[in-house]
Amino acid sequence: MRKLLFAITLVVLSACKNEKNNDQAQENKEQVVNVYTHRHYASDQLLFKRFEEETGIKVNVINANADELIQKMNIEGAQSPADVLITVDAGRLTRAKDQDLLQAVESDILNNTIASHLKDPDNYWFGLTKRARVIVYAKDRVDSTALSTYEDLATENWKGKVLIRSSENIYNQSLLASLIVNNGEEGAREWSKNMVSNMARSPKGNDRDQVKAVVAGEGDLAIVNTYYIGNMLNSDSPEEVKAAKAVGLFFPNQEGRGAHINVSGAGVARYAPNKDNAVKFIEFLISEEAQEVLTNSNFEYPVNEAVEPSDLLKGWGDFKEDTLELSKLGEFNKKAVLIFDETGWK
């Protein structure tokens, strides 16, 4: 009974509060933008704070895995407080679009700044930063001239020498999705099968662990994201720095389509209660100011071409990137997961 009374009181109280809000002029209402994000880096928090300072719009953040955020938005439906969804891969954004959780945005700033393959063709989402999935190799055991493509890693040459993490990981799923588009489903299946037989060990750990395993001699080379190498080189642990320095970095497929890249990206939620603020927020994230912060403190490649990559990234040299429309990665994500399972890639 008491609980019931309590609930009623709550309802009444919140009702009063809302009525008060309605009475006040719209402009007086605190401006907010509610962000559902899979990114949880210090650089992002810094940028959110700057955005608040510059615009007076308060940034509310929910951090979680992109899958869980999408599920949450699905269940919340039209009542969802989410304004912006940020994920660390294009596949999840495409999925959110397919599930009708995002809306198209018309913004000249976004359209003119971001290259067309780095955003949704219908403007449902936009890339914020790029990461390349590259080969790292033991400098003492592998001659970099022996390296060429992702496809080459699946040949007999590298039997028992390749290190790569579990197929659970979205970056691997996206890589295989790109192979499905580029080489066809059968080609991708063949690749996955041969990669499994080339693995130095059963997949485990994260990207950093693959680098360490290369240095420890468990395998000769690994497929990892550039972003993690940057973080390892700047790690607080002397051992991690040592490991990252002991490997060479190679951008594959430079003669052909280019290295596989993925983006962190953002889209405006279908039922965004603060749509204008959401657009402003995304525009801010690709501004030169924000992109500088992202590339310098988080070792990601900027999508805004006016901004140079950080010195560390430049040190790895320019590279040719696969300009496959990233929305395709989402389209073929599920197929990729099925192929991984069928070919026994754990």
Residue ranges binding other proteins (CB under 8 A) = 10-11, 14-15, 18-19, 22, 34, 40-42, 60-65, 67-68, 71-72, 75-77, 79, 81, 95, 166, 168, 173, 202-209, 212-213, 215-216, 228, 231, 235-237, 239-240, 242-243, 333-334, 337-338, 341-342, 344, 346
Judge whether 226 and 313 are in contact, CB under 8 Å. yes
Q: Which is nearer to other proteins, 68 or 305 (CB)?
A: 68
Q: How far from chain centre, in Å, is Cα 255?
A: 26
Compute the least distance from the CB of residue 167 to other proteins, in Å.
Answer: 8
Compute the least distance from the CB of residue 204 to other proteins, in Å.
Answer: 3
Compute the least distance from the CB of residue 53 to other proteins, in Å.
Answer: 17
Compute the least distance from the CB of residue 162 to other proteins, in Å.
Answer: 15
Query: Phi, psi (5° rounding) for residue 147?
Result: -90, 145
Q: Which is nearer to other proteins, 25 or 75 (CB)?
A: 75
Q: Which is nearer to other proteins, 22 or 112 (CB)?
A: 22
Q: Which is nearer to other proteins, 50 or 335 (CB)?
A: 335
What CA–CA distance (Å, rounded) separates 182 from 187? 9
Task: Look at residue 102 and give its three-state secondary structure.
Answer: strand
Compute the least distance from the CB of residue 323 to other proteins, in Å.
Answer: 26
DSSP 178-236: HHHHHHHHHHHHHHHHHHHHHBSS---S-HHHHHHHHHHTS-SEEEEEHHHHHHHHT-S
Q: How far from chain centre, in Å, is Cα 69?
A: 14
- ∠ CA 318-324-327, rounded to 5°: 125
- List residues bridging with 34 in a β-sheet: 60
- Written in H, E and C, the secondary structure of 36-99 is EECCCCHHHHHHHHHHHHHHCCEEEEEECCHHHHHHHHHHHHHHCCCCEEEECCHHHHHHHHHC
Q: Which is nearer to other proteins, 5 or 42 (CB)?
A: 42
- List residues bridging with 32 in a β-sheet: 58
117, 181, 253, 333 from 173: Cα distances, Å = 18, 12, 18, 6
What CA–CA distance (Å, rounded) separates 46 from 249? 29
What CA–CA distance (Å, rounded) separates 9 from 324? 56
Q: Which is nearer to other proteins, 7 or 146 (CB)?
A: 7
| DSSP H/E element including 246 | none
Compute the least distance from the CB of residue 135 to other proteins, in Å.
Answer: 18
